[in-house]
Each structure stands twice: as structure tokens, then as C-alpha cells.
Amino acid sequence: MSIHPAALEALRSRLNSATIYTPDSENYKQSLIRWSDTGMRHAGVVVQPTQAPEISVALLWAQENDIEVAVKGGGHSISGTSSSDGGLVIDLSRMNGVTVDTTRKSITAQGGATWKEVDEAGAAHGLAAVGGTVNHTGVGGLTLGGGYGWLSGQYGLTIDNLLSATVVLADGRTVTASNSENEDLFWGLRGAGYNFGVVVDFTYQAYDQKNPVFSGILGYTPDKLEGVVGALNEALAHPDSRFGAMCILTLAPDGSGPMIILIGFFNGSREEGQSKFAGFTALDPVLNTLDMIPYSVVNTLQNPQATYGDRKSFKGIFFQPPLDPLFARTIFNDFMTKIQSEPDLAASAIILEFTDMRKICEVPLASTSLASRNTTQNGIVYLRWTDPAKDLEHRAWAREAQAKWKAELDAATPDQGDKSSVPQYINYAEPGDSIVSNIYGGNIGRLREVKIKYDPNNVFHKMHPISTNA
């Protein structure tokens, strides 16, 4: 259903400097582009504001005209939660400014900024924030759902370093949320934050990062899988908050077949880094780019694989270390058989993160709305293809793969009682995911209260909506 021309005219007359795209505008199609083609929808109108009052106008207009609202930060939602079929998209991409306060050591990013802008602004002053590991991801979605990055072992999640946020609420008011103002909203934003308003800026604690870090890519042939998993388990068994790793099971881009990629990170000297990665380099990698590089560059290492375009599926997987090498082998073989038998899936991967969770688990569970503070590690079954006719089939296969990880996790956590009660990371769960279904855990009761207070009419309902009914 299209939006009535008179309503659009009324919107235009109330907005001065915001850019507005409707289906007949020249750059309308461009404005719909998302990281994954599966996240694109045909909006009735796209508003790109430059300041908070314009967001307020757009929100009130949508409610007066009974029009659905979507908010776009970095546009990485795969299932279309930052897009709308026929409704209003508030696209924050023109609100991407970043400022650094060197005295307070904080970084303020507007709601439409990406981590690239944050990393680069911080680096110019020898500072870094806890942000995403792929630098074109938006600060918006990543922060509102928790936020893991290479610095999480040392400093916790992105939300653990959020000092304040400015939010435009559904009733049009602009408010500050922090530990001293609207504390309940601040609590809700940190883990369920897509549900309460449009965040126009985030202020993060930053940390001295003048030194480069020891980081890079190691590549292994498939026969090294058990060795790599063993070294990863060993690293987590003797945790060092400065260490992190990502293990990627994929096909080599040169067509030579299955391979294991390890992205390594150590926030310390070359000598210490070499010693931390000795167990990995001893496995004779076929590729080794480990070196001292700037922190901001580490967050570009995955960019060549994580490009825009094509159809994509993200299925969150969660595992309790140590990861069983036998299980990893079964998963690896099944995955490689699948993506080698379907050339359109060749750019797919299973991504496993290895993070020292101690700092994250130090934060009391009740102090933020994020329910998944526990020792399980995060990963993703990531499928990428081009043929829309294969959407259902590929998603079903990814769900089956995800179910195997869930069964493995359940077996590894026998003391949890009701297995569904292990809350899992919200940012790696697509809405409607039947396997990763426990997102808010025991925080759901308080979240309902905050929702009723700040968004009683459920204007913000696209990503893991909080029902106001008990």
C-alpha cells in the first residue's frame, strides 16, 4: 500500500534540511541498499535527517498517519529490520559525525556512524573504543544489542563502555539516557536497545591505544583442523584478556578448496604476541600475515570477505569451550560438502569467535538488559548466495546446521535445567529464529516495564520486539 500523496506533502512541508526519497525519486533505489540483498524492502518514504528535531517530526507524522517505522543505522540487518515494506525508513546515514574528547577520553558517534569512523577518529588521538570487527558495520545496531570486538577481553562489551546516549522517543521528545538520567531507559538500551527510540548519538569510554597490536591472518589446510581447535581451546584455558581469535571455515578464494582461516589478535608487543601464537604458528600455516599493525587496521581484515551484495543468512551458534575437535571435524566436513556441491554458496563460511569472557561476566547480569553474559562463545553459520529461488532451501539448511550446535551446547551445559534457558547473543539472532529463541532471559519482566514507559504503542518493533503483554 502506498502512502497518500497528501500525507507525503505534509511530511515534506515539515522537514527542511532532511533528504526525502519516495519511489519516484531519482536516488530512491540507492537509498534502499543494505549490506545483504535479503535486507532490502521497498519503503514508502525514506527520510535522511541531519538533526534530532527532524527525527521527531518524522516519528510524529508516521504515527498520525498510521505508517510503520523502521530505523536504519549501518544497514547490516539481514532480515530487513532496518527496512520497511511501504512504510517510513528513518535512515541515519547522514548523521555519521564522530567527535573525540581527549580530556575525558571519550568518543561520541552519531547514530548513523560506522565503526570505521569511530576507529579512525580515535586513532588520530591514540585512542580506541570497543567496537565491531568489521569496520563498515553500524555503531547503532551493534551497540544496541551488546557489541563484541577485539578489545572485549580487556574492556568488556560495547555497552559496558557506553557512557550515555541521546534518544528521540516515539512521543517526539529528545532525552539523554545515562547512569544519572533516565536510568531505566539506559538499562534497556544496553542489550534490547532497538525497542525504545531512535538513538541520535552514543558516547563511549575510549582507551589509550597508541601502540600497534600483533595481529593478522593465518591460513591452514583442512588436515590442521584438530590442531587449530586444540590451540584455540588451550588459549582459552589459559586466558589472557589481550588475546582474541576468530576461526573461519571456508573455501579458499583462489578455488583451491576448503581451508581454515584464523584471525589472531594480541594487544601487546611483538615478542609477547609471537609467544601467544606459538601454538598456532607451529602448525605450519600456509599463510601467515601476523605482524604489528594499528588497531584500526585489524577491523579491516575481514572486509574483503564481508562485502555488500548478494543474499545472506546469519544463524547464530553458541558453544561452550573447550570445543570438541571431533564435533568440529563433523561440522567442517558437512559444511564443505554442502558449499562445494553448490557453487553459488562458495563465499559462505562458519565463523567461530574465541573471546576471554571474564571481563564481560564481571558485569552483574542485572545491570544491563543484555541477558547473554555467560561463558559460551559466539559464532555464525554464514551463507551467501545469489539465486532468490534458493532462499528457503538455504535458510533451512543453515537452520539444520545451527540445530547441531544447539544440541552440542545443550549437551555441554547439563546443569542449566531447562535448556532453552541459556540466553544467547541477540545481535547474532535473526527475528523469528526458532532455535535461538531465548533472547531476553530473566530480564523480560523489567524490559516490559521500560517498554510501556517509553514506547507504549510499540512504534519500535522490528528487531526482537518486547511484547507489552505479560
Rule CB under 6 A: which residues touch ligand FAD? Answer: 35, 70-77, 81-82, 92, 111, 132-134, 137-138, 140-142, 144-149, 194, 198-199, 306, 427, 462-463
Grid cell of 456 as nine digits: 507504549
Q: Which is nearer to ligand FAD, 199 or 350 (CB)?
A: 199
349 three-class SS: strand
At how many degrees (to 10) do helices 325-341 and 225-237 cross?
A: 130
Q: Which is nearer to ligand FAD, 195 or 443 (CB)?
A: 195
Grid cell of 393 as nine digits: 532451501
Q: Going by C-beta distance under 8 Å and a sequence separation of 6 or more, which residues neighbour residue 233?
A: 321, 322, 323
Q: Which is nearer to ligand FAD, 451 or 462 (CB)?
A: 462
Cβ atoms of 247 and 352 within 8 Å: the answer is yes
The distance of closest approach from Cβ of residue 303 to ligand FAD in the complex, given in angstroms and rounded to an integer, is 9
The distance of closest approach from Cβ of residue 235 to ligand FAD in the complex, given in angstroms and rounded to an integer, is 19
Q: Which is nearer to ligand FAD, 166 or 224 (CB)?
A: 166
Grid cell of 129 as nine digits: 573504543
d(CA 460, CA 463): 8
Grid cell of 103 as nine digits: 580530556
Q: Which is nearer to ligand FAD, 92 or 251 (CB)?
A: 92
Cβ atoms of 135 and 115 within 8 Å: the answer is yes
The distance of closest approach from Cβ of residue 28 to ligand FAD in the complex, given in angstroms and rounded to an integer, is 18
The distance of closest approach from Cβ of residue 336 to ligand FAD in the complex, given in angstroms and rounded to an integer, is 22
Q: Which is nearer to ligand FAD, 194 or 214 (CB)?
A: 194
The distance of closest approach from Cβ of residue 111 to ligand FAD in the complex, given in angstroms and rounded to an integer, is 3
Grid cell of 298 as nine digits: 585489524
The distance of closest approach from Cβ of residue 429 to ligand FAD in the complex, given in angstroms and rounded to an integer, is 10
Kindly state the DSSP code that residue 114 receives in the 8-state scheme: B
The distance of closest approach from Cβ of residue 296 to ligand FAD in the complex, given in angstroms and rounded to an integer, is 14
The distance of closest approach from Cβ of residue 338 to ligand FAD in the complex, given in angstroms and rounded to an integer, is 21
The distance of closest approach from Cβ of residue 152 to ligand FAD in the complex, given in angstroms and rounded to an integer, is 8
Q: How many CA atoms lie within 13 A of 221 on its CB side?
A: 5
Cβ atoms of 155 and 208 within 8 Å: the answer is no
231 three-class SS: helix
The distance of closest approach from Cβ of residue 232 to ligand FAD in the complex, given in angstroms and rounded to an integer, is 17
Closest to 427 (Cα-Cα) out of 302, 301, 296, 314: 314
Cβ atoms of 243 and 235 within 8 Å: the answer is yes
d(CA 246, CA 353): 5
Q: Is the peptide bond before 322 cis (omega within 30 degrees of 0)?
A: yes
Q: Which is nearer to ligand FAD, 178 or 281 (CB)?
A: 178
* Single-letter residue type at 396: A
Q: Which is nearer to ligand FAD, 304 or 343 (CB)?
A: 304
Q: Which is nearer to ligand FAD, 82 or 161 (CB)?
A: 82
At how many degrees (to 10) do helices 444-454 and 183-192 cross?
A: 120
Cβ atoms of 424 and 443 within 8 Å: the answer is no
Q: Which is nearer to ligand FAD, 198 or 206 (CB)?
A: 198
The distance of closest approach from Cβ of residue 74 to ligand FAD in the complex, given in angstroms and rounded to an integer, is 3
Give the angle 85-87-89 at the CA atoms, nearest 5°: 100
Residue 293's beta-bridge partner residues?
A: 213
* Single-letter residue type at 184: D
Q: Which is nearer to ligand FAD, 224 or 451 (CB)?
A: 451
212 three-class SS: coil
Q: Which is nearer to ligand FAD, 50 or 81 (CB)?
A: 81
- Are β-strands 106-110 and 88-91 bridged in parallel, bridged antiparallel, or unpaired? unpaired
Grid cell of 363 as nine digits: 558485569
The distance of closest approach from Cβ of residue 394 to ligand FAD in the complex, given in angstroms and rounded to an integer, is 16
